[in-house]
Every structure is written in C-alpha cells, then in structure tokens.
Structure 1
C-alpha cells in the first residue's frame, strides 16, 4: 500500500514539472517587464530653483552725480529745470598738497563746466563759509573764483526751510547774482567721511560771504 502511494506522488511531481517547462517564454518576459515598471521604482530627483541674486549696492559714479567711481562726493544735487548736476568732487585721502578737488556742472556723463580743468592739488582754490540766519536756520557755502566770476555752492536748512543750489556772481560785486539755480528737493548727496569733512572745514573762509551773506538771487 505504501509503495502505491509513493508511486502516485512521484507521478504527480513529474507532471507538474513538465507543465512548468512547457509554459510559454512570454510569461517570463511579462513578469520581468512588470518588475521594471513597478511603481516602487526610484523617481528622478527634482532640480532645485536657482538662488535669487541680490542687486549690487549703489556706488560712486552710478549716475547720481558727476563724480567718478572711486571719488568722494563733497556735495552734489540735481538742478531744477534743466535736470543737470552740480557736483563738488574729491579724490580719496585728499589734502592741500595731494589729491584733488573739482567742481563740475552739466548733464550726466557730460560736464559743461569743470573747475579746475586739471586735477592738481587744491591748496587755496576753494573756500568754505558759515551761513547763519534767524530762527535756528543756518548752513554753509563752498566758493571759488574763475575768470572773474564767483561760483557758490550753498546749503541752508532749518525749521520750515530747505534751500540748496548754485549761485554765480561777479567776483568783485556780490550785490546781485548773475544766475541762481536751486537743487531739486531730495536730490542732495553729501559724503559722510569724517576725514573729508574735517578737511573741507579747514578751508579758508570767504570773507565777503561771511560778512554779507549770499548774493540776492533777484
């Protein structure tokens, strides 16, 4: 009886093996393809967005004055009406015997007037005067002479008063201005360097302005 059972089991095992061997090859291929297309396959790594680039800070020579890159802006503003600039510029580390200071007036990138024409040492060329008014108002004026004309760059501020600009008058007669151009509100630029401020404060005073004030504008 046991021999008959063992023989039956052997026949069944052989039959199953034959059916597996006769299975079409395409079944194995389908199985392989299904494995490749499995949803568990690794997805491509997303590319991160580029970091935002911060804008470069404003620098000297950026078109807000006639001073070149690398120079200090002693004083500059946009003049009302013609939109030109009036700029008093200085080299870094300027002194009476080294470096230079110059005044320029004109459109951006093209000055109509420059004093002095050469960038030589500024000793004695420029003066700085104090302007005092009632009611706590006051200011200062930079001045120089060229071809018999006195050019004055001034700034006055106080309670309810804000006035900056450029005045030109006869050097020997400040009774009346030949021309007076005001700065646009909010356009004034001044360098805050302590060394430059101390240097301009050392300039001699313009005695005529100290005594009589600014020439009348009209």
Structure 2
C-alpha cells in the first residue's frame, strides 16, 4: 500500500471513531425504533423522557405523528391512541436577541400538553414540557429538559409537515405558560 493510501486510511479510521462514539451517546427517545424523532429530551431531575415522533412516511400511505412520555422501557402516555389521528398545533416562538423556537401542543382528557424547544445566540438550547388543566393558565406540571440533551429534527419533510399544523392562539399571544 502506498503512503497516500495509508494516510487516507488512517484519516478515515481516526475520524470515524469520534462519530461512532457520538452516536452511542445520543439522548434517549420514546419513539419507536423505526420512527423518526421530531423532538425529544430526557427531563431534568427525572428518569423520564418526552418525545414528539413521526411514524411512516408520506410516500407509503402517510405519516402519523405522536407524543410519548415516560421511561423508554415503560411509556406512561402515548397520544393519540394507535390507529387514531392526533390534533396537534405548532406555534412559532420569537424572543429578543435572535432567539426563537417552537411549541407543539395538544389536548387530551382535560389537559393541555405543550412540548417546546428554544434556541439562540451563545449556544442557547432549552426545551421542556408544560401540562395545564383545561381552562387554567398556571401549569400543573412544568419540566425542563436536561441541559444539552434536546434533540430536534433537521429533516425538511418532517419540519414542513409540522409547519402545516394550526398555531395555538393562546401560546402565540402569551408564550409558553409558566408558574
């Protein structure tokens, strides 16, 4: 093997190792193994994870979005139920200082669930889950994501699909509910 080929092989081998180790440290997700992660994060001060997922694809009979919460080995809530279509909203969030994000929301059994992600200057990345009882402004539960563990999709087809959802007028007017 000539010197150029050895150098190339050495470069490929040493560059592939860090990439493989990054994949092994990916944040957990509640999405099925063959499903796509739209948003996911392990929650701070908890062993639970919150995820927005997409199953299927547009080319093969449609895509189904769903929310999942709990431990990866034991989901506590999946919305909507299998075989049902969920009624999700996606609201664009803007803040001062070149900061923005989005919030996915849905209502189930008298509670509104809001999953959000915010990013901006100086490597800001934040996200979390807010749960409100119908008609109330103060959350009954508010959890933030573990620092540095937010996973957002960069797949254009998934982003485009969620951009077609209606915006939540309350979140659009007031932002993410807080205590």
Once the two structures are TM-superposed, the CA of residue 66 in structure 1 deviates from its matched residue by 1.0
Counterpart CA distance in 1 for 2:62 and 2:50 is 23
Match status 1:190 vs 2:155: no
Counterpart CA distance in 1 for 2:96 and 2:27 is 36
Q: Which structure 2 segments of 5+ residues have no match?
A: 1-15
- Structure 2 match to 1:162: 125
Counterpart CA distance in 2 for 1:138 and 1:118 is 32
What is the aligned counterpart of 1:131 among 88, 93, 111?
93
Q: 1:94 to 1:180 in 2, by over 3 A?
A: farther
Structure with the greater alpha carbon radius of gyration: 1
Greater RCO (Cα-Cα under 8 Å, separation 6 or more) = 2
Contact 1:63/1:108 (8 A) holds in 2: no
Contact 1:72/1:90 (8 A) holds in 2: yes
- Structure 2 match to 1:109: 73
Q: 1:184 to 1:94 in 2, by over 3 A?
A: farther
- Which stretch of structure 1 is more off in the superposition, 160-169 or 136-145? 160-169
Counterpart CA distance in 1 for 2:116 and 2:157 is 21
1:147-198 superposed Cα distances (whole Å, 9 cap, x missing partner): 111100001122354321000012323x211111000112112222211110
Q: Which has the higher strand share?
A: 2
Once the two structures are TM-superposed, the CA of residue 94 in structure 1 deviates from its matched residue by 4.7
Contact 2:27/2:41 (8 A) holds in 1: no
TM-score where L is the length of structure 1: 0.65
- Structure 2 match to 1:65: 29
Counterpart CA distance in 2 for 1:63 and 1:79 is 11
